[in-house]
A = this chain, B = another copy of it.
Amino acid sequence: MRDVAVIGVGVTKFGELWNKSFRTLGIEAGIKALADANMTGSEVDGVFVGNMSAGRFVNQQHIDALIADYSGLSTNGVPAVRVEAGEASGGVAFRQAVMAVASGMHDVVLAAGAEKMTDLDDASGNAILDSTADAEWEASMGVTFPSLHAMIANRMIHDGIATREEIASFAVNSHAHGALNPNAQFRKAVPIETVLRSGPVASPLGMFDCAPISDGAAAVVICPLDKAKEYTDSYVKVSAVAQASDTLALFQRDDITRYNATSVAARNAYRLAGIEASDINVAEVHDNYTVSGIMALQDLGFFERGKAGKAVLEGQVALGNRLVVNTSGGLKARGHPIGATGVAQIVEITEQLRGSADKRQVDGAKYGLAQSVGGIGSAVTVSILEAI
């Protein structure tokens, strides 16, 4: 298999973008990525799109054809594929794109993700989100996405793995970084009191423990590593893409305070990249809820079980440390337009490794990691990028 490089990235502002349609968002991100790679769409020979549920959010299936068409790629018949893996849809799209180039079946591929979620009222939107849980055995019983995460949080607190304050502190870290990101949905640092006192969603989690409903899109252009220089001097190497799965329902797990799929995907990714967890300098993890962020830091091997919460609370993953987490603001502050999220993580890591992250820059970052989670840890991708 061939080595692969990311040679261009593009992302829209995330937020409640009522003046932009699903397709205009997708096109904006795609054009930015192509311009960043100093190329036009005519050089692209494959497209992978991560999208969770445009069929329900905006009544449009067949997103693959839509994106190929509106990017001007359908005139050449360029194949486009939409993938869905719940909230990990963007991460899976990136992995499929890397596989397509690594295999030699494609040369220049656009991996994109988009979601337009605010066209529906909150109740309808949340019902769609709940459909990534087990519809027959969990959602049908009244379980929602927030309540599943609340159960995890309660168990972690009960078992002494993290305190309520430690869990809440993950949002403080994400918001501090989001304040520095011009494309973030929320650009305001918040003290831990704000998180702890926010309106209850599912006890112990409050509003500031939960990522928002967002619109947005992100895209990256990839090609074989040995051809990257033909397009740009500013590229990064894809050292690993790994994916693993777990049970769809939470109740079927022996231990609900960790995601086995994260552990398996991370182990495979470190092996493929030939590095260890301690080599990572910058990481984007899937903090759809604060508690997910704490679990991620443990399951990815950054901290021992029971120590991640304390580290976050003490500011050990903020800018200026050896490992910096969620410089983009994460899902909590940057926003979480589902299909876009996993691709936006790759955009952020690429910016960091090529030194173009502006006020969020982690100096001298060599290895970056992105973790994307579908459902309640039912599908997880872990990607590792490397500065050249």
Taking Cβ atoms with an 8 Å cutoff, the residues of A that contact B are 1, 21, 23, 52-53, 55-56, 58-66, 68-70, 73-74, 77-86, 92, 96, 99-100, 102-105, 128, 131-136, 139, 242-249, 252, 260-261, 264-265, 374-375, 378-379
Contacts of A1 in B (CB 8 A): 103-105
Interface of A is mostly: mixed
Contacts of A96 in B (CB 8 A): 81, 96
> Contacts A99-B99, A378-B69 hold; do A61 and B79 have CB atoms under 8 A apart?
no
Q: Are A245 and B379 in contact (CB under 8 A)?
A: no
Distance between A227 CB and nearest chain B CB, rounded to angstroms: 17
A69 to B248 Cα, complex, angstroms: 6
Q: Is the CB of B65 within 8 A of A378?
A: yes
29 residue pairs from A and B, CB less than 8 Å apart:
A21-B136, A52-B61, A53-B55, A58-B135, A59-B135, A60-B135, A60-B136, A61-B84, A61-B86, A61-B131, A62-B131, A64-B85, A64-B92, A65-B247, A65-B374, A65-B375, A70-B248, A74-B247, A74-B378, A77-B245, A77-B261, A78-B245, A79-B244, A80-B85, A82-B85, A83-B83, A99-B99, A103-B103, A103-B105
Identical subunits present: 2
Chain B: which residue is nearest A60 at the CB level?
Answer: B135
Contact A92-B103, Cβ < 8 Å, known A56-B56, A61-B132, A131-B60: no
Chain B residues with Cβ below 8 Å from A264 are 77
Q: A68-B379, A74-B378 are in contact. List 15 more A-B contacts (CB 8 A).
A: A1-B103, A53-B61, A59-B139, A61-B132, A62-B374, A64-B85, A66-B248, A68-B245, A69-B245, A69-B248, A79-B245, A79-B379, A81-B96, A82-B83, A99-B105
Q: Are B77 and A62 in contact (CB under 8 A)?
A: no
- Whether A79 and B248, one on each chain, are in contact in the complex, defined by CB atoms closer than 8 angstroms, is no
Contacting pair B69 A247 (CB below 8 A): yes
- Residue contact A248 to B375, C-beta cutoff 8 Å: no
- Asked whether, in the complex, the Cβ of B62 is within 8 Å of the Cβ of A86, the reply is yes
A103-B99, A136-B23 known; A59-B245 Cβ under 8 A: no
Max chain B C-beta neighbours (<10 A), residue from A62, A132, A135: A62
A356 to B102, CA, bound (A): 36
Does B86 lie within 8 Å of A65, measured CB to CB? yes
What separation, in Å, do the CA atoms of A131 and B56 have in the docked complex? 10
- Kindly report which residue of chain B lies nearest to residue A102, judged by CB atoms: B103
Distance A309 CA – B237 CA, assembled complex (angstroms): 53
- The smallest beta-carbon distance between A54 and chain B, in angstroms, is 9
Residues of chain B contacted by A74 (CB below 8 angstroms): 245-248, 261, 378
Residue from B65, B66, B244, B252 within 8 A of A77 (CB atoms): B244
The 7 closest A-B pairs by CB, nearest first: A103-B103, A65-B378, A77-B244, A79-B243, A77-B264, A62-B86, A60-B135
Give, as a whole number of angstroms, the nearest-CB distance from A124 to chain B: 12
Knowing A1-B104, A81-B96, A83-B81 are in contact, say whether A62-B375 is a contact too (CB < 8 A).
Answer: yes
A242 to chain B, nearest CB (A): 8
In the complex, chain B residues whose CB is within 8 Å of the CB of A64? 84-86, 92, 245, 374, 379
**Provided the pairs A65-B375, A69-B248, A375-B62 are in contact, do residues A260 and B85 lie with their beta carbons within 8 angstroms?**
no
Partner of A246, one of B77, B99, B375: B77
Q: How far is the CA of A17 from the CA of B70 in the complex (A)?
A: 38
